[in-house]
Structure 1
Amino acid sequence: MSTSAVRGEQRYALPDEFGTADAPRKEPQLIESRSNTAMTRSVLVTHPGLQHSHQLALALHERNLLQAFWSGVPVAEDAEALAWWLPEHFRKRVRRVGIPAALRVHPIRFQVLQQASMRVKSGHPGDRLHRLFHGFDAWAAKRIVALRPKVVVAYENAAYHTFAAAKSVGARCILDAAAFHHKTRAEQLAPPYTPYTAEVNRRKDVEIAMADLILTCSPLAADSYAANGVERSRLKPLLLGADPKLVTPITSMRKDGPARFIFAGQLTLGKSIDLILSAFTRLHAEGFKYELNFVGGVGDHELLAAVQNTPGAHYHPSVPQSQLFEFMAGADCLLLPSRSDSFGMVVAEAMSCGTPALVSTQTGAKAVVEAFPESGWVVEPNGDALHDMLRELVSDPARLQRARAPALVASKEFTWERYRARAGSVLQEYLQ
């Protein structure tokens, strides 16, 4: 299968709920009035980490459908006190979500094991994380028979035993897949093959086969599953969202000076950091002025060295979310020209700050730009295409400024509230 097989030419069309210029948007119905349906409080959501699982669980809770939420990373309600023994750095990471404690289980052992595994120097870190996820999968499976849910939502690479247990009690299985199909991802990135890779992929294939419904983070990600033989009838893309917490008005963030670009995320080849640096090195040689900021973790230390050696580029380690939003609001354009990215939540976050985005054809969040064409730009993930587009933008700063208002408009349709409305409607319709 060629990579082009999953790119597709069809642009993302807005669901009916978004409305059009001639027809107003349908407001979401967050609480389902038919609460006496047979599916009331019958859905289990289980995840070894967190990702966006708490938002899906909250969407179900808002419709009186959530039976339980089991996650390896704890969440808490706004007024809920945290355990006294939690380290301060961990307290700051706890998400505040309106799901009652009575519906949640957060086994602390998996957080302890994950922290311990990060200190192990031998072996492949990805393999250790996969084994930890598989351990959570087995833990959840043992408890499903007692809970007897009617529907189980589990996440990619942690649903193998969970779905088998769900089938044993007659429950339907929904797989929430955060990434592209593993075969497509291997084509795009050629990731290292480790001793555990074959087992990881075997389990993923079984999870896909057992799933009655597969949720993906974008239409592009759904295409990758369809290209690998999964029936379209079992695929449902649900674009993710963001909720900014800006304290400074967006209109006051932009300062005078050269065009400012930002990348937020891990420095990896998958995010096309090498292509970004190459493009800006060429722009510098051509005499263009710019400012380029990288904010986030380091997945590849060679890329960090390359950032530090690129004219006009600056690296900032991971920062609190509120500070990240300030960084993004002060930029003229977010860069995410990934080689492989099933969505790219940072795009929705940047647009919520009024910052347009430049994404690639292999970034799922291109659906946002396709739905709101003036909010950003889509390019092929190669050096020439990226350079040419950046050259146009640096040459015409007013074009970047004109995109700010459309980006802010686009962001209104990609908040977590809107995601929960979409997810709740999809799952409610499926359950009924």
Structure 2
Amino acid sequence: MALALHNENQLAGYWTGVPARPLTPRSWLQPLSRLLEKHSLLPLPDEAVRHNVVAPVVRRVAKLLPHAHTVDWMHRSMRWFDRWCANRVSSLNDVGAVICYENAALHTFRAAHRQDMATILDAASFHHAWQDRHYDYPESDAVHRRITEHKDAEIEQADYVLTVSELARQSYIDAGFDPVRVAAIPVGCDLERFSHSTEGAQEKHSHDPFTFIFAGHAGLRKGIDTLIEASRRLDQQGINHQIWVAGGEDPNIPWNQAPSLERLGRLTHEELAQRFQRADALVLPSRHDSFGMVVVEALATGCPAMVSEQTGAKQAISENESGWILPAEDTDAWVDRMTWCIHHRDDVASMAPKARRDAQPYSWERYRQRVTAHLTDLLMDSHVPS
């Protein structure tokens, strides 16, 4: 989004924790640069970028704590970053709007309103009420109550909300947010990397077992237990298959219940692209996934996708043409569809061209076009202050 705004000469500033520009050699923060850089540095002007790495450092340290405490301290760090931004809003001139990432917006929004700026919430997840209906939170009730009260307060201060899928948008509407003030702007992926990364990919052979691939953090939220049970049933029926599991994982996953699952661990983008090209179908039985970028990444390689109806990226799939959409926790439905795929391997393989076509609207270039056009229209609309 920052790049999109910069390319349209609409970016007044980009304030971030993760370094987006190289930290200066004299900066005491410079040694932390390698620790914090998860993404490529951005071609933004130095004067537009401000860093505060306290929040990401706290998040890194918090991951060493028990999970319930990790959540608490991660949210505390985001609130600290929010206050740091809010203290600097008053110095801005000729700025029409601020866009803040969720959980780090409340104080900045309040400061922006005092400056007569529009406030736009960049919401990567579902509305918290929707999440609570579908997912047990690990933190204590007291901490969870404090987090949700903070979320409610920042949503109340938002003039507009940007979500990443129609499914996520609906979660805000279901929670009572004005439909006129919430939009779905699907994110993108590097289609070039996934459609052309053939180096190291191996040719498929008809005598190989039908291979499904799961990509993402293996845990209850992504429905890994549903996949394990489905694989166990296929094994019991003597149906030859294998499932690759790519990504990190929650503790205490009962992997031994499904011998046909192979854990690959965390992969680079290039390694993941090669696995998608070698696999026959993606499986993602998420209980809630506001988008699920791996879906369009798999489609871009020609790998059909089987996803749950609680996955935002389901909107990229043409049913029975580039993939399938199934109930999130209906193991019977997953076993039936996986069995069909195994017995109709040629039909699944024939879906590759349609899968690649369905991925095309989800490039980062198309995202930048969508988001800048929408923000331009938004700030000219009477529903939102300008």
TM-score normalised to structure 2 length: 0.90
Instruction: Give the match for residue 160 of structure 1.
Output: 106
**Does 2:11 correspond to 1:66?**
yes
Instruction: Give the match for residue 223 of structure 2.
Output: 272
Which residue identity lines up with residue 108 of structure 1 in the other structure? Answer: V
Instruction: Give the match for residue 323 of structure 1.
Output: 271
- Choose from 182, 199, 202 the match for 1:235: 182
1:109-258 pair list within 5 angstroms: 109-121=54-66, 124-148=69-93, 149-194=95-140, 195-244=142-191, 245-246=193-194, 248-249=197-198, 253-256=202-205, 257-258=208-209
Q: Identify unmatched segments of 5+ residues in structure 1.
A: 1-55
Q: Structure 1 CA distance, aligned partners of 2:162 and 2:33?
A: 34
**Does 2:44 correspond to 1:99?**
yes
Instruction: Give the match for residue 23 of structure 1.
Output: none
| Aligned-pair CA distance for 1:290 | 1.1
| Aligned-pair CA distance for 1:330 | 1.6
Q: Secondary structure at the match of 1:378?
A: strand
Q: Structure 2 CA distance, aligned partners of 1:81 and 1:142?
A: 22
Instruction: Give the match for residue 14 of structure 1.
Output: none
Question: After superposition, what is the alpha-carbon deviation per residue over 1:70-122, rounded to whole angstroms, capped at 9, x for unaligned?
Answer: 1111124xxx688563565655x231333222211121222322222233459
- Choose from 334, 352, 358 the match for 1:404: 352
Q: Structure 2 CA distance, aligned partners of 1:387 and 1:147?
A: 56
Distance 1:207 1:373, change over 3 A: farther
- Choose from 228, 243, 251 the match for 1:301: 251
| Aligned-pair CA distance for 1:284 | 1.2
Distance 1:229 1:283, change over 3 A: same
Distance 1:373 1:395, change over 3 A: closer
How many pairs are equivalent? Answer: 369
Which residue identity lines up with residue 233 of structure 1 in the other structure? Answer: V
| Larger deviation, residues 275-284 vs 97-106 | 97-106
Q: Would the aligned equivalents of 1:241 and 1:419 in 2 still touch at CA under 8 Å?
A: yes
Q: Structure 2 CA distance, aligned partners of 1:373 and 1:348?
A: 16
Q: Secondary structure at the match of 1:66?
A: coil
Q: Identify unmatched segments of 5+ residues in structure 2.
A: 381-386
Q: Structure 2 CA distance, aligned partners of 1:308 and 1:69?
A: 47
Question: After superposition, what is the alpha-carbon deviation per residue over 1:177-218, rounded to whole angstroms, capped at 9, x for unaligned?
Answer: 111111111101132352311111111111111111111110
Q: Secondary structure at the match of 1:96?
A: coil
Q: Structure 1 CA distance, aligned partners of 2:155 and 2:119?
A: 10
Q: Secondary structure at the match of 2:75?
A: helix
Q: Would the aligned equivalents of 1:242 and 1:415 in 2 still touch at CA under 8 Å?
A: yes
| Aligned-pair CA distance for 1:155 | 1.4
| Aligned-pair CA distance for 1:310 | 1.1
Q: Structure 1 CA distance, aligned partners of 2:358 and 2:155?
A: 32
Q: Would the aligned equivalents of 1:350 and 1:356 in 2 still touch at CA under 8 Å?
A: yes
Q: Structure 1 CA distance, aligned partners of 2:371 and 2:75?
A: 27
**Does 2:330 correspond to 1:380?**
no
Q: Structure 1 CA distance, aligned partners of 2:200 and 2:32?
A: 38
Instruction: Give the match for residue 8 of structure 1.
Output: none
Q: Would the aligned equivalents of 1:263 and 1:335 in 2 still touch at CA under 8 Å?
A: yes
Distance 1:123 1:344, change over 3 A: closer
Instruction: Give the match for residue 426 of structure 1.
Output: 374
Q: Structure 2 CA distance, aligned partners of 1:324 and 1:215?
A: 29
Q: Would the aligned equivalents of 2:19 and 2:41 in 1 still touch at CA under 8 Å?
A: no
Question: After superposition, what is the alpha-carbon deviation per residue over 1:340-386, rounded to whole angstroms, capped at 9, x for unaligned?
Answer: 1111111111112221111111110111114x761111001121111
Question: After superposition, what is the alpha-carbon deviation per residue over 1:141-172, rounded to whole angstroms, capped at 9, x for unaligned?
Answer: 11111124320101111111111011011000
Identity of aligned residues (%): 34
Which residue identity lines up with residue 237 of structure 1 in the other structure? Answer: A
Q: Secondary structure at the match of 1:67?
A: coil
Q: Would the aligned equivalents of 1:359 and 1:377 in 2 still touch at CA under 8 Å?
A: yes
| Aligned-pair CA distance for 1:248 | 4.0
Q: Would the aligned equivalents of 2:120 and 2:160 in 1 still touch at CA under 8 Å?
A: yes
Q: Would the aligned equivalents of 1:242 and 1:352 in 2 still touch at CA under 8 Å?
A: no
Which residue identity lines up with residue 397 of structure 1 in the other structure? Answer: R
Q: Would the aligned equivalents of 2:291 and 2:312 in 1 still touch at CA under 8 Å?
A: yes
Q: Secondary structure at the match of 1:255?
A: coil
| Aligned-pair CA distance for 1:417 | 0.9
Which residue identity lines up with residue 345 of structure 2 in the other structure? Answer: P
**Does 2:243 correspond to 1:292?**
yes
Distance 1:163 1:68, change over 3 A: same
